[in-house]
Chain A
Amino acid sequence: MIRPYGDTRDDGKVQLSFTLPIEWSERADEAARRLAVSMGFRDVHVAEGRPAAQGFSFFVVYASTASAIDAEAIPSSAVEAPAMSMEQIDAFIRERVGRTVRVAGACIGTDAHTVGIDAILNMKGYKGDYGLERYAMFEVFNLGSQVSPEQLMRFAKERDIDALLVSQVVTQKQSDVKNFTALSELLEAEGIRDRILLICGGPRVTNLLAAELGYDAGFGRGTLPSEVAAFIATRMASKERA
């Protein structure tokens, strides 16, 4: 079992900052302290309390928690795929899949921010790691931004796509989750979910979230194109065997 670590094992120290919709005063500081206590924290210290705007106060709070967690008991959340270079992945696909893999990617819903999907698909790639377009064994269709789940489903069906990559960068009020879910449900309804590798990505995406949404994998911030490529390659290989 582990607890947050300040400077001593099990001291349970956490730092919090938050805003309250109240004009700043000593009473506001006390309100912040009591609020932290009501969250279950002990040794609450309001290190900073001051006006943030008219009718708002800002606080920095240090406190201790008695809560602890058994991290060992948590199933692994990272996508499991071996680290391979572009050349290794191309060779792997050639040998184990025996044909080019068709990949389509898009930003779905109203999201117009293609930074994420471009980093994975565009030739140039991300952080010196080439994008999927550069691979010999991927045929890539980057559909760009603001593609509806319906359009993407139709495209996947018509072009016989093996792997669908969907990205959501700007999200508000859970719109990313709604769009991701809409796509996976559409593929189910069309009866093509099983033959497509469905992958989501975005700064807030985790592999656990992806699994909950019925996706095969989810990639978060900082993902390299080769990580996605390796995942697709290994899953395609096991699919071909099956």
Chain B
Amino acid sequence: MHLHVDRSSVDRCRAFARRIVEPVQAYIRAHSTLSVERTVLRLLGVDGVDSSEIPLPNVVVDSLPRERLQWGIALPFGHALAQTRLEPATLARAIADGEVSLASFAGVADAAARSALHGYVESALAQIGARRGERDALLERLPQLPPPLLYVIVASGNIYEDRTAAVAAAEAGAQIIAVIRSTGQSLLDFVPYGPTTEGFGGTYATQANFRIMREALDEASERLERYVMLTNYASGLCMPEIAAMAAVERLDVLLNDSMYGILFRDINMRRTFVDQHFSRMLNAYSGIIINTGEDNYLTTADAVAQAPAVLASQFINEAFAHDAGLPDEQIGLGDAYEIDPDLPDGFLYEVAQAQLARQIFPKAPLKYMPPTKHMTGDIFKGHLVDAMFNLTSVTTGQTIHLCGMLTEAIHTPFLADRMLSIENARYVMNTARHFGEEIEVKQGGIIDRRAAHVLRECEALLERVAEMGLTSAIEAALFADVSRSPEGGRGLEGVFAREEGYWNPFEDALAGATSRG
């Protein structure tokens, strides 16, 4: 299937997207956040919690007076390392125990700090590089089934139950497992620690939980002779920290949207912009595919009306991702099948939108989300709507396919719900495997006109956003009908301006690494 796409309009859209992100990038370059600094510590090897269960990266960053943090945590931490000759983990523990204070090493030369940190920075990057190499080797040896890659969610709250469900789903044909987070984790300004067995609507993203799931899926991959990918969610107040944990534990996909936290979790926009950038730099280096959250526009506002905003957001997410060093192959832009099933020709609109994204972002591993908004307790109808979604996905060559659940509106999926959902997808995608290559879109027909309309409206929207600036556009509710102010939302107190001489050793190394690659 091939749509007629106005290439000059696509070029203008990309140019507008560039104009939109430029001023934000300037802000990002001049600022850092508490979460970025905690990530630096995590990468250096600081982990664990203090006696009140506060993560040590938080303890160490919070131990430094804010006016000194403006040069970054790396230098003061490096001063202390140089002087005490402790390991980063031991030093952090000593700070938590009150035995050492970062404030007492201000006299140490910066050069000593840099050289004390050098080896730890190198070994962190080498470790992440090794994890990436492992993934490449596994994918080579245990090739995946052809896309759309079937993606299912587990979310029991208990990582050990999740593990059982994940392995069962993989056996049933799932190729990507996502452990959905506990509701509200995105609003925590710390990452919980250790294996967890209690959660609401999901399971906490912790490094230990990542590891437990990775091990189980590695075993399943060997047994099934195909690599099963693991996903989690970065968006929230700890985007870069979760990106760092994901890199070390070899997650393969990470939900990482440049605006999701702002619009849908009311996280401060400045905080999000700065955090998403560093987290995406880490994703780029670790070979993790990011997934963006455009599907959320469609669940919170009208799906037909929001289509141009979805495409516009895809362009903006792409521009931000490129700035963080992500290649197209790692930019999993999002979309969803959320048009009201009662709308005549709704299926045609869905095909138009999905195919449009496929052609505009040809190398992107597009992420396609299932119907949720119009799902009801009628599981029989829900299963049918999911089948139409599956058909759209295989016909338009989507890459990452979130399997729709017939019980979407009822409960977090039962084991059998996942099985039925995967069977539905496998049946449709098998029976219609090459359908998309066989059909031609009628010129001037409904699909053709719809795609042209969406692109035209998207260009107009991007032009408007470029003129008013992204911040004002978000304030004016141009995305998802949600209005957020630059000073509003959670987490702004964790953003600070960088002083002359600010240093984040990983940022420097990653910028060098990705620009070379």
Residues in chain A within 8 A of chain B (CB atoms)? 17-19, 52-54, 56, 58, 109-115, 118, 122, 124, 144-146, 170-173, 175, 203, 221-222
A19 touching B414, Cβ below 8 Å = yes
A170 touching B171, Cβ below 8 Å = no
Also in contact, A54 and B183, with CB within 8 A (given A110-B200, A112-B265): no
Given A53-B169, A203-B410, 11 extra CB contacts under 8 A: A52-B416, A53-B167, A54-B167, A110-B182, A110-B201, A111-B201, A118-B300, A144-B266, A145-B266, A170-B183, A171-B201
Contacts of A172 in B (CB 8 A): 157, 200-201, 412
A56 touching B184, Cβ below 8 Å = no
Which residues B389-448 have CB closer than 8 A to chain A?
A: 409-410, 412, 414-416, 419
Contacts of A203 in B (CB 8 A): 377, 409-410
A124 touching B377, Cβ below 8 Å = no
Binary interface encoding of chain B residues 243-267 relative to chain A, with 1 for a CB under 8 A from any of its CBs, else 0: 0000000000000000000001110
Binary interface encoding of chain B residues 291-325 relative to chain A, with 1 for a CB under 8 A from any of its CBs, else 0: 00000000111100000000000000000000000
B409 touching A221, Cβ below 8 Å = yes
For the complex, count residues of B whose C-beta is within 8 A of A.
31
Contacts of B415 in A (CB 8 A): 19, 52-53, 56
Contacts of A122 in B (CB 8 A): 481
Q: Say yes or no for B376: interface residue by CB 8 A criterion.
A: yes
A110 touches which of B168, B183, B377, B419 (Cβ 8 Å): B183
B299 touches which of A19, A115, A145 (Cβ 8 Å): A115
Also in contact, A54 and B416, with CB within 8 A (given A115-B373, A170-B201, A221-B409): no
> Can you sample 11 A-B contacts with CB below 8 Å?
A53-B171, A53-B172, A54-B171, A112-B183, A112-B184, A112-B186, A114-B300, A145-B265, A171-B201, A172-B200, A203-B410
Contacts of B301 in A (CB 8 A): 124
B187 touching A146, Cβ below 8 Å = yes
CA distance A125 to B60 in the complex (A): 47
Chain B interface main SS type: loop
> Number of A-B pairs whose CB atoms are under 8 Å?
72
CA distance A173 to B411 in the complex (A): 10
Most buried by B among A17, A52, A113, A115: A52
B183 touching A111, Cβ below 8 Å = yes
CA distance A16 to B414 in the complex (A): 15
B198 and chain A: residue at smallest CB distance: A173
CA distance A18 to B200 in the complex (A): 24
Contacts of B184 in A (CB 8 A): 110, 112, 146
How close is B274's CB to chain A, nearest CB, in angstroms? 22
How close is B462's CB to chain A, nearest CB, in angstroms? 23
Contacts of A173 in B (CB 8 A): 157
Contacts of B168 in A (CB 8 A): 52-54, 56
Contacts of B410 in A (CB 8 A): 203
B377 and chain A: residue at smallest CB distance: A221
CA distance A122 to B186 in the complex (A): 24
Contacts of A18 in B (CB 8 A): 416
Contacts of B409 in A (CB 8 A): 203, 221
CA distance A175 to B299 in the complex (A): 23
Also in contact, A52 and B419, with CB within 8 A (given A110-B182, A111-B201): yes
